Every structure is written in C-alpha cells, then in structure tokens.
A and B are shown apart, each in its own frame.
Chain A
Amino acid sequence: MSQQPKIKVTLLIIAFSLAVVYGVKFFLGIMPQNTLSSGQTRAKGDKGAAIQITEFIDLECPACARGAEYLGRIMAEHPAEIRLELKYFPLPSHRHGFLAARYAECAARQGKFWPFHDALIARQPNWSRLTDATPAFALIAKEILLDPGRLEVCLNDKSVDALIQESHLEGERRGVKSTPTYYVNGKMVVGLQSLEPELVRLLAEIKK
C-alpha cells in the first residue's frame, strides 16, 4: 500500500496542531503583563545595574530560601552589577505563605522589608513547621523593631492582601507556576539550578 496519502494526512495534522499550540501561546502572550509598579521597598541594588532580577517568591518555599541565600552571596560579591526586586507569589500548598507575605509587606511599609525578609528566610525551617506561625512572625517583627501599632493596623489593611493577590496574578499572567521564578533581564529562569549558570554567564559578559 502506498504511504503517500498517510504522510500527507500526518503533515496536515502536524501543521494544524502547531497552529493550535502557537495560537493559544500567542493568545496567552498578548495578555497584559507588567501591571505592578516597581516597589522600591522590595528592591535592593543599584537602579542602573546591568543585571536586573525580578523574583516571584513564596516566603515559605525551601527552594526560595536556598535561592535567597545564593543571591545574597552573589550580590555581596557584585554589589554594583545586580539589582533584585521581589514580588509575592504565595503558593496554595504552603499554609503560611500568604501570612508571611502579609507580614513582609507590612515590614516594607515601615521601610524594613529586607531585615524582615532575611530573618524570615533564615528561620524558615522553624516557622514553616508550626501550625500557627503568627507568634514567630510577631517575634521577628519585634526583633527588627517594627512599630507594633502600625503593624497591627497594616495587618488588617485590605490593600495589603490586594497587593499580594495582584502580584500573584501578575505572576500567573507571566506563566509563573512554581517558585522561585526569576526574570533575569527579562528572561524567565525557574529555580536556582538554572539561575546560577545564567548569572555566571551574565557576570562573565559584563567583565569582558
């Protein structure tokens, strides 16, 4: 039996399938993307740095903690070359993720996002195991000298939740599924294993 009609049908099906996949990708790609203004309090590093990183983070995710440690180290080694901005992406699988983001945002509103973030990351193995992490977060807030009155008001402020949800939505629109997801100079990089070679490559390019 001649295979020619079968090959023709196969090619037709492949072409049609490609059109469907790329059509859907195109449709998803034209969704509005950068809706959140860049929050200065959740960013560190030189504004004009050659390497701009935006990270979608879940403060309870262990891989994000490893990523934060690595970024802290590499940013200390190359302070002028890297700028990092964090965006909240609490995952539903992490029971304290949203609350941690809420506390972090309230710390940001008192200009102490990074001390709070660093303490949160350092102690993540401890508080992530708790049934109720509120006392652990309150303790960190006390240690970094957050104003308790302002913190209380902020924690009940609906705009904080709205901002976290907006940040999460922005991530979803960009195709973020897991954390940590980084955008290094606009290029999506998921996980530390991919971030390391990307940063090494970019730093080597800068040195040339």
Chain B
Amino acid sequence: MVCNLWSPNLFDCLRKLKNSRYPLSRIMIGGLFVVSGFEKLVGPYQNFLYVIQNYSFLPFFLGEIAARLLPWSEFFLGIFLVLGLWTKWTLRAVMALLLMFMGVVIQALIRQLPITECGCFGGLISFPLPVILALDTTVFVFAWFLSFRMEEAERCSLDRYLARNESA
C-alpha cells in the first residue's frame, strides 16, 4: 500500500504508520547504538579511553577495560535491537547502559568537569553534556515505554520470525 497525503485510503495508511511506531522506535534506538559502537570500534581504542578518563570516575585499569568492552556492547546490543533478536533482554541491557551513561554525565555536570564534548559517538558527532543528557533521557524513556509494549515492539523481528518458524 502506497502511503501519501493523496492516498484514497489515508485513514488506513495512518493507522498502519501508527502501528509501526513501536518496531520503528526499536530499530532507531538500535541504530543509534550500532553507529555509536561501530565508530569507536573501527578506530584505536585509546581514543575512547581518553574520553573515559576525562570523566574521571574509573581507576586506570577499569577505564582500559571499559574502553575495550563498551563499544562492543553498544554495537552488539544495537544490532540485536535492530534485528529484534532477544528483544526483551536486549532492551533491558540497553536501558541499563543508558542509565549508566546518564549517571556518568550527571556526575560530570555536578563536578563541573571541563568536558566540552561528550565523546559518545567517537569522532562522528559530538554534543555538549546537557544535550547528551537530554538525548540519553529521551532514548531511555522510549526504551522503557517499549519494554511495556513488547508485543508491538517485537513486530518485524527475528524473535517473531524464529518463533513462527518453530511453531510451523
């Protein structure tokens, strides 16, 4: 069905779009994580380690571990969310990550650390801390909302496809 303003069945189109907002939100959140993780992964991990060190909340060795593991976590969680694989658990993990990011940014804001750019998307794009806090909060609210609408969020997902194949 082609959907545009001049469609004869505009009402059906709008209803269809409304129904697809959950899987679309899931895919968008996942995409954000994929981009963020991938950008960090293809560059030297030391760049992200420097970002972590600027937030001064982890001892050196933990910072090093986080700089190596966090981009992979973001990347895989993002891919799983986009594809809708282990959606329920991935969504929970994404929410936990977002809560952690928000905590880190809030402590940096409270301590007035001299961080002008968040460094959260590697070198791709950068936001000041208040902006990234707002973005993280928005994404968290979306993810939290999705977690109550798993039935709809799992539309167009591998989870649903595999379950259907299994039962067939």
Q: B123 at the A/B interface (Cβ < 8 Å)?
A: yes
| B123 contacts across to A, CB distance below 8 A | 177
Q: Do the beta carbons of B75 and A21 come within 8 Å of each other? A: yes
Q: Do the beta carbons of B42 and A194 come within 8 Å of each other? A: no
Q: A193 at the A/B interface (Cβ < 8 Å)?
A: yes
Chain B: residues with Cβ within 8 Å of the partner, total of 31
Q: A188 at the A/B interface (Cβ < 8 Å)?
A: yes
| A24 contacts across to B, CB distance below 8 A | 42
Q: Which B residues from 110 to 168 make CB contacts under 8 A with A? A: 114, 116-117, 122-123, 158-159, 162-163, 165-167
Q: B101 at the A/B interface (Cβ < 8 Å)?
A: no
Cα distance A93–B126 in the bound complex, in angstroms: 11
Q: A5 at the A/B interface (Cβ < 8 Å)?
A: yes
| B66 contacts across to A, CB distance below 8 A | none
Mark contacts of A29-45 with chain B using CB atoms, 8 A cut-off: 1 yes-contact digit, 0 otherwise.
00000000000000000
Q: A175 at the A/B interface (Cβ < 8 Å)?
A: yes
Q: Do the beta carbons of B162 and A6 come within 8 Å of each other? A: yes
Chain A: residues with Cβ within 8 Å of the partner, total of 27
Q: Do the beta carbons of B46 and A194 come within 8 Å of each other? A: yes
Q: B105 at the A/B interface (Cβ < 8 Å)?
A: no
Judged by DSSP, the binding face of B is: helix
| A188 contacts across to B, CB distance below 8 A | 44, 46
**Contacts known (A9-B85, A9-B162); A177 close to B60, Cβ less than 8 A:** no
Q: B27 at the A/B interface (Cβ < 8 Å)?
A: no
Q: Shortest distance in angstroms between B124's beta carbon and chain A's nearest beta carbon?
A: 10
Mark contacts of B23-47 with chain A using CB atoms, 8 A cut-off: 1 yes-contact digit, 0 otherwise.
0000000000000001001111011
Q: Do the beta carbons of B42 and A25 come within 8 Å of each other? A: yes
Q: Shortest distance in angstroms between A155's beta carbon and chain B's nearest beta carbon?
A: 29
Q: A178 at the A/B interface (Cβ < 8 Å)?
A: yes
Judged by DSSP, the binding face of A is: helix
Q: B9 at the A/B interface (Cβ < 8 Å)?
A: no
Q: Find the B residue at minimum CB distance from A192.
A: B53
**Contacts known (A5-B166, A17-B76, A17-B79); A10 close to B85, Cβ less than 8 A:** yes
Cα distance A92–B114 in the bound complex, in angstroms: 18
Q: Do the beta carbons of A13 and B85 come within 8 Å of each other? A: yes
Q: Shortest distance in angstroms between B15's beta carbon and chain A's nearest beta carbon?
A: 31
Mark contacts of A184-207 with chain B using CB atoms, 8 A cut-off: 1 yes-contact digit, 0 otherwise.
000011110110010000000000
Q: Find the B residue at minimum CB distance from A10.
A: B85
Q: Do the beta carbons of B46 and A1 come within 8 Å of each other? A: no
- 18 A-B pairs with CB atoms under 8 Å apart are A1-B166, A5-B165, A6-B86, A9-B158, A13-B85, A14-B76, A17-B75, A25-B42, A93-B117, A175-B43, A175-B47, A188-B46, A190-B44, A190-B46, A190-B49, A191-B54, A194-B46, A194-B50
Other 13 A-B pairs with CB < 8 A, given A9-B85, A93-B116, A194-B60: A1-B163, A5-B162, A5-B166, A6-B159, A13-B79, A14-B76, A17-B76, A181-B46, A188-B44, A190-B47, A191-B50, A193-B53, A194-B46
